Amino acid sequence: MTHGLPPATDVLVVGGGPAGAAAAAMLAARGRRVTVIEKDPVPRRRVCGEFVSSEALPMLAELGALAPLIAGGARPLSQAAFTAPPDRHLEFPLRSLGGFGPPLGVTRERLDAAVLAAAVARGAVLWRGARFLAPARDQEGALAGAIVATPDGTTTLRAALLIGADGRASAVARSLGLEAACGRTPLCALKAHVRPGAGMDELTGVEIHLFSGGYVGMQPVEGGLVNVSAVVEARLAHELGGGAWAILRAASGRSLLAGRRLEGATLVGRALSLFPLERRRREVLGDRFLLVGDAAAVVPPFAGDGIAAGLRSGLLAAEAADGALALGDLSAAALRPYADARRRHLDPARRYSRLLERLAYRPRWAARLLPLLRGTGLPEAFTRATRVS
C-alpha cells in the first residue's frame, strides 16, 4: 500500500474489486497516473459465488494475476452439475479455453488481492481505508475528482476522470443520481465458507441445486474450503427466518441433494447476506466518469460469469478512457465507445443468462428438461451463450 494521496491524478478509481483493479492496471501500464481508493483496510470476504470461468483466465493472465492465484491453491473445477426436485440431475464437463486450463474456485479475498497487486505493480497508487464521500466539482460545476474520507480526515483528490467500481450499492452511482428502479422480484443472496464433511467427499466441480424460490450453489475453493452460496426470493428468506447461516441451511434443505451435501459441514467464519441483489443504473458514463463492474450493471449470478464480466468491463473502460485522455476530451461523447463496447461484449451474455435464470425459479420445468439434455451437447452450448466475449 502506498501511503498518502497524490494531489492530482489522471484517473481516480473508486473500488478495488476485479473491475476497478483491471481498469487501473491497464491504464497504469499505458503510462496514465492512476489512483485506486478502497474503503476496506484489507481484502475482505464478499457475497460471491467465487467461480472464475475459463473466459476470465486469459484476462487474469494478461494482468499478471493468474499465476499467483494458481500458486495460492486455486481449485480447478472439472465439471458442472444441476439438480432439480425430486431427484433430477444433469452433469457435464467444464471446458478449458486455450492453454489456461479449466475454471477455478478462488476466494474473493485472494482474487481481489491478486488483481490489485497487479495494478500496483504496473504503477497504480493504492490507498486502502479511503472512502468515497461525494464528487468534487470545479468552479464551473464540472466533475473534477472526489471528496474522500481517510483515517486522517477528509480530503479532496483531483482527477481528470472518475471511474466508479464500488459494487452493487455504488456510492459513486448514487451520488451522481444514476439509481433506477429495478422492477423485478426482490432477491436476497447468501454466502458461507464451510469445512466439508462426508457429504462433500466427491465435490470436484460446481453444483447448482434448484428449488422453489431460488437455488444454492457449491464449489471447492482454496484452503480445503467449500463456498456455499444461494440466491432466494426475499419473501422466502423472510419466511425461513433467522440469520444468514440459518437461512442458507434451510434453503439448502429444500433440495434433497443440497441438504445431503451439507451433512457434517462446519461453518468457517460467518455467513454473509446481501439485499437487494438487483441494482439498475440509468447510464454507465457521462462527462468525466465511467461505471464498471457491478456498479454499472449486476450480472445475473446464475450464469457464473460475474468475475469475467467485471474484468472485461474494467478493461473496456480503460481502453475508452485512454483514448479519451489522449484526445484531451473526457466528455460523454468521447467516452461513448465504452458503452458501445459493453453492448457488444457483455449484453448478449446477460440476455441469455436472464433467459436461463428463469429455470432457477421454475424447478418443475427444470426437472422435465434436465434429463432431456443429457448427452446432447446443449448444456455446453447454453453455457457458452452466457459467457462474455
Cell of 235: 419473501
| Of 300, 293, 316, 216, residue with least CA distance to 262 | 216
Residue 361 pLDDT > 80, yes or no? no
> Residue 2's pLDDT is what?
38
| Of 299, 374, 324, residue with least CA distance to 19 | 299
CATH 3.50.50.60 residue spans of the chain = 8-44+54-74+104-182+279-349
* pLDDT tens digits, 211-222: 988 999 999 999
d(CA 328, CA 324): 6
Distances in Å between the alpha carbon of 215 and those of 87, 210, 260? 15, 4, 15
> Residue 202's pLDDT is what?
78
Q: Which residues contact 351 (CB under 8 A, 6 or more apart)?
A: none
* pLDDT tens digits, 79-90: 999 988 887 888
Is pTM beyond 0.85? Reply is: yes
- Quickly tell me which residue has 449470478 as its cell: 301
| pLDDT greater at residue 181 or residue 43 | 43
Residue 223 pLDDT > 50, yes or no? yes
CATH number belonging to domain 8-44+54-74+104-182+279-349: 3.50.50.60
Does residue 4 come out as left (phi exceeding 0), alpha (psi in the -120 to 50 range) or beta?
left
Contact 353, 300 (CB under 8 A): yes
Residue 190, CB-side half-sphere exposure with 13 Å CA sphere: 27
Residue 75 pLDDT > 60, yes or no? yes
d(CA 148, CA 319): 26
* pLDDT tens digits, 291-306: 999 999 888 777 778 9
Q: Which CATH architecture has domain 187-274?
A: 2-Layer Sandwich (3.30)
d(CA 200, CA 220): 9
d(CA 344, CA 277): 25
| pLDDT greater at residue 378 or residue 14 | 14
Contact 281, 180 (CB under 8 A): yes
d(CA 314, CA 296): 10
- Average pLDDT of the segment spanning 338-366: 81
- Average pLDDT of the segment spanning 277-283: 87
Does residue 64 come out as left (phi exceeding 0), alpha (psi in the -120 to 50 range) or beta?
left
| pLDDT greater at residue 58 or residue 355 | 58
For a pLDDT cut of 70, what percent of the chain falls above it? 96
| Of 115, 98, 96, 97, residue with least CA distance to 106 | 115
Distances in Å between the alpha carbon of 339 and those of 12, 93, 255, 283, 297? 19, 34, 40, 9, 12
CATH 3.30.9.100 residue spans of the chain = 187-274
pLDDT band per the 50, 70, 90 thresholds, residue 360: low
Distances in Å between the alpha carbon of 311 and those of 17, 37, 285, 325? 9, 18, 17, 21
Instruction: List 94's β-bridge partners, or say none.
Output: none
H-helix segments, 241-331: 244-252, 256-261, 306-327
d(CA 381, CA 371): 16
| Of 251, 201, 198, residue with least CA distance to 229 | 251
CA dihedral 154, 156, 157, 162 (to 10 degrees): 100
The mean of the pLDDT values for the chain is 90
| pLDDT greater at residue 101 or residue 383 | 101
> Residue 1's pLDDT is what?
36
H-helix segments, 48-199: 56-63, 66-71, 108-121, 171-175
> Residue 336's pLDDT is what?
98
Residue 173 pLDDT > 90, yes or no? yes
